[in-house]
Amino acid sequence: MKKDELLKILMNCNRCGMCQEVCPTYRVSHIEANVARGRNRLIRLALENQLNLDKEPEVEKIINECLLCKACEDSCPSGVPTPEIIASIRAHYTNTKGLPLGKKIMYRGVFSNNKTISLVRNLAWIYQKCGINKLVKFTGLFNKTDEMLPNLPPKNVRSQLPVLLKVLPNADHRVAYFLGCSVNNFFSSIGVASIKVLQENNCDVIVPEVNCCGAPHHSAGDMEEFKRLAKNNLRMLNDLDVEAIIFDCSTCGSVIKDYENLFTGDEEYEKIAAQVAEKVQDISSYLISIDFNKNMGTISKKVTYHDPCHGIRFLKVKDAPREILKSIPGLELIEMQEADMCCGGAGSYGIFNPKLSRDILARKMENFKNTQADILATSCPACTMQLSFGMKIHNLNCSVKHPVELLVQAYEIKSL
Amino acid sequence: MVDNRLIDELRQIVGNENILTSKISLETYSFDASPYSGRPSVVVFPTTTEMVANIVNIANKNDIPLMPRGAGSCLSGGAIAPDGSIVISLTKMNNILEIDPLSKIVLVEPGITNKQVQLAVEQYGLMYAPDPASQNISTIGGNIAENAGGIRGVKYGSTKDHILGLEVVLPTGDVITTGNIHSQVEPELDLTYYFCGSEGTLGIVTKAWLALSPINPEVKTMTAIFGSLEDAGSCVAEIIAKGVVPTTMEIMDNTVIKAVDDYLKLGFPRDAEALLLLEIDGFPSDVKTQVNSIINAFASNHALSYKIAGNEQERLDLWKARRSVNGALGKLKPANIVHDIVVPRDRLALMLEKVAQMAKKYGIIIGQVAHAGDGNLHPTLYYDHRIPEEVEIVEEACDEIIKETIAQGGTISGEHGIGIEKLKYMPLAFSKPTLNLMKNIKDAFDPKNICNPGKLLPQITED
């Protein structure tokens, strides 16, 4: 966004303070620098040349402490798009200073390339299995970031596709399943479940060779790389003869749905992005739209649902995952307080802002505990990683599951 | 002046994690929801009464101005930090200490938000009656300091009618407890009342005993559309004159209707001149009679149409519309001033019309919402603070609104407080002996004038 445009939308903030109620960083810290109106105030001063963005490390820190969860924007009576403003300023930092080395290695080096990401995953799996991790933990080398990594599955989803994908010549539906990096590499059970559930509902599934959606690059302000990835994905997805492109990752889904805004002014890609966006479907909503198979076995457990920011505020998915959970015999859905408040995961937020991230997580876990549920369900691998980490550090013996994982379990119980 | 030695002393009191001193962090405490700004020296976040008292002692000993702050949502500049001051943010003293549903009392710390209190007592079928539009964020401490009213104010009164007692740190550092928590009858000079509406100039509330009210079993929410503000105003006067006391009677003018509808897309009639939002509560039989009486008043005051909210969602939507007014109007211009004048109820229609005429005369946008039931009007004037001529015109229009209010037998602030904004109007609204008495009271509580100086009371000049 250009400076004039930014200044104009910043003027819409009349400092009423309504963002205080919903901003997770404000709710745990109670300081004005950690809420939309405070952040906007500083940005406005910078744009009015009263502050120098590039010479105030504290401002940069404050800008980086925003989760981009969008809760403020949704409750802002003047509709100030704070996440967009913050993203613009981060892009400015990345433009003028380049990405910090850690983010550069992680985003451009790893997430940008499917092969490297699986290689890193495999190394990390070996690391976890051979016991070096215990030694490293002992030395305190990685401090606590190490614990944030989930227990990795032995194989990623893509390598299992030849076995997983069935030929369904008489299928009712033909869909593409977008296999995101996190699900593929870190939470393969979600990806496997998504494919199985779709096939169980008579969908012929294809899994295109997509790249990372670019969410990490976007949030770090690396717009150049973000655009490159987006173009690759758009070309790949636009040619598919499918009725829907299915996402089990709310982040990937909302980022791809929003590619259109990335290419404003670039007619060719704007058009393609709009066509692709039409087909983007969150898996729970899609299953409901095709009246999914309700012939299931019983799971006698209590479950509660955490709304990923990208699910509830970007894709506007609220009821569908809950409907899926309620449809499973024996499974009791209990609503938790602040279900739609960010868990503090926010991609790699927890690595770079550990204190705030953990305070927000503690609040989420407290709300979870109060429901006395056995399972915490959610539709986002980044949330899954953060919430599982929460279970670990808060000593809770409960699991974090995607609704489709529970659904596939219910189908499998029935067929036994 | 706050020097490094004082900062260290403050740091020792509140701990390293509860103090802000950097230029950037202080910048985020330079404002509230008013157009003013100030330059504090330090912000501290005490978590106990003892910490507050120790901080006040330091300020008192060194003659440093103090600024107690809650959510910082003040509209009149009451929460603007005096230059060089210590800001005492009460946001980390945010606990509910005790709920007594039998006696209908809740004991809270000052930093808890009004809404969190509502949520905590709801399960007992109770509510805390004052409900300012900012209730989702504004704190009980701030509500007391401003004597916040609210949308239910016409039936239930304002904050001062629901405070049973307070624990207060005085500007001298002494801690006192006021009130009689088991009765609203005060046998002696009622100290609690002094703090309600004192705008943080007499002391810092550290605990408050709030009186709760039962939630009535039936609620009906209605809207009516009028062809003129005058009809809407007359309708309100007639409803009250007939003996019906709704919990709410809110008038919104065309500017507000459009802004709110842009934000919420509720399908309000965008060309309507006035919308009246009404809510009544009580027992079912009682509510039914009230509804009939109100519908008759609609008819006799030429309402173009009316609607009764059919379900809870419709009702919540209407409320959200009302609560969003302040923010939704933010889109019109980069800056605004909202007044909270009060006129006798029978002058309401006339006053609404006069303000609408002033908007035309000065060629500016004035949005009008009114807590019509108690004659409390909120004309909001929009301008661009970067254009000096606009600032000047808006100031002139404000002066005229205030003068007209007083001419109609009204007063200058219903609930937002005097703050910085209305200081200059105090001599118009109060006689010299009254202002002198207020000044003497201030001196008795705060002999060194360190507690939120420069607010509420104007400098009195000898003539």
| Domain residue limits, chain A | 3-97, 101-148, 158-288, 296-415
Q: What is the pLDDT tens value at each position of chain B, 463 positions in all?
A: 889 999 999 999 999 999 999 999 999 999 999 989 999 999 999 999 999 999 999 999 999 999 999 999 999 999 999 999 999 999 999 999 999 999 999 999 999 999 999 999 999 999 999 999 899 999 999 999 999 988 888 899 999 999 999 999 999 999 999 987 766 565 677 899 999 999 999 999 999 999 999 999 899 999 999 999 989 999 998 999 999 999 989 999 998 998 888 888 888 888 899 999 999 999 988 899 999 999 999 999 999 999 999 888 888 888 888 877 877 777 778 888 889 999 998 898 899 999 999 999 999 999 999 988 889 999 999 999 889 999 999 999 999 999 999 999 999 998 899 999 999 999 999 999 999 999 999 999 999 999 999 999 998 665 5
DSSP letter for B451, please.
Answer: B
Is residue A210 pLDDT above 80, yes or no? Answer: yes
pLDDT score, position B415: 87
Token digits of residue A402: 């995607």
Interface test with chain A among B23, B25, B37, B266, by most A beta carbons within 10 Å: B25
Q: Is residue B453 part of a domain?
A: no
- The more confident residue out of B109 and A144 is B109
3-state secondary structure B38-58: CCCCEEECCCCHHHHHHHHHH
Closest chain B C-alpha to A82 CA, distance in angstroms = 14
Q: Is B71 on the interface with A (CB under 8 A)?
A: yes
Question: Are residues B60 and B122 both part of a single domain?
Answer: no
Last residue of a domain, one of B189, B214, B239: B214
CA B32 – CA A14 distance, rounded (Å): 9
- Report the 10 Å Cβ neighbour count for A277: 16
Question: Are residues B261 and B380 both part of a single domain?
Answer: yes
Question: Are residues B78 and B154 both part of a single domain?
Answer: no
Architecture of the domain delimited by A296-415: 3-Layer(aba) Sandwich (3.40)
Q: Is residue B237 part of a domain?
A: yes
Q: Is residue B437 part of a domain?
A: no
pLDDT score, position A144: 54
Q: Is residue B28 part of a domain?
A: yes
A296-415 shares the fold of A158-288 = no
Q: Is the dihedral of CA B53, B55, B56, B62 positive or negative?
A: positive
Closest chain A C-alpha to B262 CA, distance in angstroms = 10
Interface test with chain B among A11, A21, A32, A43, by most B beta carbons within 10 Å: A32
pLDDT score, position A112: 72
Indicate the pLDDT class of residue A127, thresholds 50, 70 and 90: low
In chain A, which residues have their Cβ closer than 8 Å to the Cβ of B24?
33, 42, 51, 56, 58-59, 62
Count: domains in chain B: 3
Q: Is residue B305 part of a domain?
A: yes
Cβ contact, residue pair A21, B330, below 8 Å: no
Architecture of the domain delimited by A3-97: Orthogonal Bundle (1.10)
Please report, for the domain that includes residue B185, its CATH number: 3.30.465.10
Cβ contact, residue pair B25, A20, below 8 Å: no
Q: Is residue B330 part of a domain?
A: yes
Question: Are residues B195 and B318 both part of a single domain?
Answer: no
- Report the 10 Å Cβ neighbour count for A319: 11
Last residue of a domain, one of B30, B56, B89: B89
Question: Are residues B207 and B284 both part of a single domain?
Answer: no
pLDDT score, position B321: 83
Instruction: Give buried/exposed letters for B244-274 (b at 16+ CB in 10 A, else e).
Output: bebbbbbbbbbbbbbbbbebbeeebeeebbb
Tell me if B234 sits within 8 A of B206, measured CB to CB.
no
Q: Is the dihedral of CA A287, A291, A297, A302 positive or negative?
A: positive
Which residues share a beta bridge with B168? B176, B205
Q: What is the DSSP string of B217-273?
A: SEEEEEEEEESSHHHHHHHHHHHHHTT---SEEEEEEHHHHHHHHHHH-----TT-S
Question: Are residues B261 and B371 both part of a single domain?
Answer: yes
Strand order in the sheet with B19-20: B19-20, B42-44, B86-89, B66-69
pLDDT score, position B386: 87
Pairing outcome for strands B163-169 and B204-211: antiparallel
Question: Are residues B10 and B62 both part of a single domain?
Answer: yes
- Report the 10 Å Cβ neighbour count for B295: 14
Last residue of a domain, one of B71, B89, B107: B89
Q: Is B193 on the interface with A (CB under 8 A)?
A: no
Of A334, A323, A326, A322, nearest to A299 by C-alpha is A326
Is residue A147 pLDDT above 70, yes or no? Answer: no
Closest chain B C-alpha to A12 CA, distance in angstroms = 5
Cβ contact, residue pair B326, A42, below 8 Å: no
Q: Which residues contact B88 (CB under 8 A, 6 or more apart)?
A: B44, B46, B52, B55, B56, B66, B67, B68, B69, B204
Question: Are residues B152 and B69 both part of a single domain?
Answer: no
Q: Which of A108-117, A251-260, B38-47, B442-451 has the lowest mean pLDDT?
A: A108-117
Cβ contact, residue pair B94, A59, below 8 Å: no
Question: Are residues B68 and B104 both part of a single domain?
Answer: no
Helix (H) or strand (E) holding B82: none
- Find the closest chain A residue to B323 by CA distance: A77
Please report, for the domain that includes residue B12, its CATH number: 3.30.43.10
Question: Are residues B147 and B234 both part of a single domain?
Answer: no
Instruction: Give buried/exposed letters for B297-309 (b at 16+ CB in 10 A, else e).
Output: bbeebebeebeeb
Token digits of residue A361: 């997580």
Helices (H), A258-318: 259-262, 267-279, 283-289, 309
| Span A135-142, average pLDDT | 52
In chain B, which residues have their Cβ closer than 8 Å to the Cβ of A78?
263, 327-328, 330-331
Domain that holds residue B186: 96-214
SS3 A132: helix
Q: Is residue B336 part of a domain?
A: yes
CA A304 – CA A52 distance, rounded (Å): 46
Is residue A145 pLDDT above 80, yes or no? Answer: no
- Report the 10 Å Cβ neighbour count for B335: 19
* Separation in Å, CA B4 to CA B7, B9, B17, B55, B368: 5, 9, 17, 15, 48
Please report, for the domain that includes residue B317, its CATH number: 3.40.462.10
Question: Are residues B275 and B398 both part of a single domain?
Answer: yes
Q: Is residue B414 part of a domain?
A: yes
- Choose which CATH entry (3.60.15, 1.20.140, 1.10.10, 1.20.1050) describes domain A158-288: 1.20.1050
Q: Which residues contact A395 (CB under 8 A, 6 or more apart)?
A: none
Question: Are residues B244 and B353 both part of a single domain?
Answer: yes
Q: What is the pTM of this model?
A: 0.89
